[in-house]
Structure 1
Amino acid sequence: MKLAMIGLGKMGGNMAARLLRHKINVVGFDFNTEFVNRLVKEEGLEAATSVADAVSKLEGQKIVWLMLPAGEITENQIKDLIPMLNKGDIIVDGGNSNYKHSQRRGAMLAEHGIGFIDCGTSGGVWGLDNGYCLMYGGEKQYADVLAPYAQALTHADRGWAHVGPVGSGHFTKMIHNGIEYGMMQAFAEGLDLIKGKEEFNLDLAQITELWRHGSVVRSWLLDLTAEALKQDQSLQEIAPYVADSGEGRWTVVEAVEQGVAAPVLTTALQARFRSQDSEGYSYKLLSLMRNAFGGHSVKTK
């Protein structure tokens, strides 16, 4: 068994390493030669000098697994791969692409007889040791080929599933990330309230550790939060800025398109937008309005 992995950054590199540790041969390429050289030295990766070189090193039914940023980079790479592949070969997009783009790409590749799998990937930096969660879409004939690779990246009997047709994998991952936004926001707000009750002098590290055992809110996300708070509860070195990857936005758009109420997911996304507003202009306007209609004082710097 052998596949080509294109994109060996943090996630792609760890996935390649896990495959190699499960005795699956991987030929890899990334423009960052530091990533490639590390995997060659530490994991026994077979390095390629280009995408074309990586594909040329595959035999039989070729599988090219992309771990690239969503958007134009992935789009162009898929188009560039078409003349390098034969009918029956498979392209796997393991990045966080928009599911609508995946549907279109799947149809485009089908015209050339090339299989396409859109694979939502979760697990972060812990996936190398703990295994990933893979949710992928595509035609059954191609999904069946992917199964042994999915088992190596996850576990033999769990953590992976062929969830439906092309597009369904990235759709499932999109909703997964939307839920993740909501869970994170709930923990953040609750812990902020605990911190704010100064008269009790509560220990956030103690409480989050307590919740990990028997509580209905126990989760891996809580595990990570508890571990981080053991190291530092002040968070003075962390800027109050929360990025959004894009999938939270797509989830909210999907809710609008379906006409399905998703207030928690939407509010969580809006909270991230608010953290990204370095000027805080709307807050200034709110203060101005309160002063205008009620004579409330305006706090200045």
Structure 2
Amino acid sequence: MKIGMIGLGRMGRNMADRIKGAGHGVVGYDLSPESGRDVDSLEALVKALDAPRAIWVMVPAGKPIEETIDRLHDLLEPGDLVIDGGNTRFTQDQEHAKRLAERGIGLVDVGTSNGIWGKEKGYALMAGGSDEDYQRILPILEALKPEGENGLVHAGGIGAGHYVKMVHNGIEYGMMQALAEGYAIMQASPLVKNPDAVAASWREGSVIKSWLLDLMVKALQEDPGLEHIAGKADESGEAKWMVQDALELGVPVPVTTASLYARQDSQIDDPVTMKVVSALRAEFGGHPIAKE
């Protein structure tokens, strides 16, 4: 199978490489000439693919995805398919699908997780769209997912993929916040002589052993006490959307809400907890961190 890839940044480039490694063809486009792109325009990308085309889009939510959808609406043909693998809000997926359908173009939204580790270990993929469109891109999804039975799900209709990715990221917020708060209280206590060693000891035999704990220990080994990381962590938007939708549904989400507020507070204060959260975001997703 041959697809187009729009957006060759931190995740898009690695995803394109993993797809190629599975024997599929990829034509890559990015705004940056230094990205290693194969073509220098969206028009050239469309021309390089045989109809019916499938084009995976890995650009940020907001204006970048809106502009990209608008351009593809004009350039693509009936029967073509757009795959949005970014973090678009699920309500926007439904609007994009309606607009693309005017020209007979399909849409699949794919929540994508595993950041900078996906090229090696595979990506957790959560797809939303019709059964027909899901089956059409299944070879690409199979190439991207981790080995084994898990890591890929057809979550439902259009918007479902990004909806469950939103929930996934809200859970992620809470898990990181819990690790961060545990570390912070150990660091503040006069009874605990080496919080870094305690965290490392939990990696085996503990009920809280996890990949996030492993990444926290890795960050502590690279920067003991996280002394060179500022206690500030940005929010990516998904947790806020989750809290908003939870209010509409009447579902209490106190852990996600509290972790969201903690990140917002970190823009004013400089707590130890946000040093841990910031370090974890850098370890699993390659997100930039503020240095002290």
| 3-state SS of paired residue (2:235) | coil
Paired letter, 2:180: A
Per the TM alignment, residue 219 of structure 1 is displaced from its structure 2 partner at its CA by 1.3
Partner amino acid for 2:194? L
Does residue 23 in structure 1 map to residue 50 in structure 2? no
**Does structure 1 conserve the Cα–Cα contact (< 8 Å) formed by 2:231 and 2:270?**
no
Match of 1:165 among 157, 162, 173: 157
Q: What is the correspondence of 1:74-89 to structure 2 with a 5 Å cutoff?
A: 74-89=65-80
Alignment-mate amino acid for residue 18 of structure 2:
R
Instruction: Indicate the residue corresponding to 1:265 in structure 2.
Output: 256
The whole-number CA distance in structure 2 between the counterparts of 1:278 and 1:222 is 24
Deviation track 1:140-182 (CA, whole Å, cap 9, x = no partner) reads 1101011110110113633111110000000000010011000
Q: CA deviation at 1:228?
A: 1.2
Percent identity at matched positions? 43
1:34 aligns with 34
Per-residue displacement from partner, 1:211-240 (whole Å, max 9, x unpaired)?
121211111111111111122222221111
Distance 2:232 2:175 in 1: 17
Superposed CA RMSD in Å reads 1.6
Larger gyration radius, structure 1 or structure 2: 1
| Count, aligned residues | 270
| Alpha-carbon distance, 1:250 to partner | 0.5
**Which residue is equivalent to 2:42?**
51
What SS is found at the alignment partner of 1:134? strand
Tell me the alpha carbon deviations over residues 76-109 of structure 1, each in whole angstroms, 9 at most, x when there is no partner.
2111112322222100011100010011111222
List runs of 5+ in structure 1 lacking aligned partners. 38-46, 281-301
Equivalence map 1:101-250=2 (5 Å): 101-155=92-146, 157-204=149-196, 206-250=197-241
- The runs of 4+ residues in structure 1 deviating greater than 4 Å are none
Task: Please state whether the residue corresponding to 1:95 is helix, strand or coil.
Answer: coil
> Structure 1 pair 200/76, CA: closer, same or farther in 2 (3 Å)?
closer
1:288 maps to which residue? Answer: none
Whichever residue aligns with residue 159 of structure 2, its letter is: G
Q: Runs of 5+ in structure 2 lacking a partner? A: 272-292
Give the letter for the 2:143 counterpart: A
Report the Cα offset of residue 110 of structure 1.
2.0
Question: Which among 247, 268, 275 is matched to residue 266 of structure 2?
Answer: 275
TM-score (norm 1): 0.86
AA aligned opposite 2:183: L
**1:254 corresponding residue in structure 2:** 245
In 2, the alpha carbon distance for the partners of 1:278 and 1:181 equals 18
Give the conservation status (yes or no) of the 8 Å contact 2:183–2:195. no
User: Is structure 2 residue 3 aligned with structure 1 residue 11?
Assistant: no
Measure the CA separation in 1 of the matches of 2:58 and 2:153: 19
Q: Report deviation, 1:133.
A: 0.5
Which one of the candidate residues 53, 57, 79 is aligned to 1:62? 53
Deviates more, 1:129-138 or 1:153-162: 153-162
Amino acid at match of 2:192: F
Distance of 1:67 and 1:106 partners within structure 2: 17
Task: Name 2:288's counterpart in structure 1.
Answer: none
- The answer for the alignment partner of 1:298 in structure 2 is none
Measured after TM superposition, the shift of residue 266 of structure 1 is 0.2
Distance in 2, Cα, partners of 1:241 & 1:155:
32
More RCO (CA 8 Å, sep 6+): 2
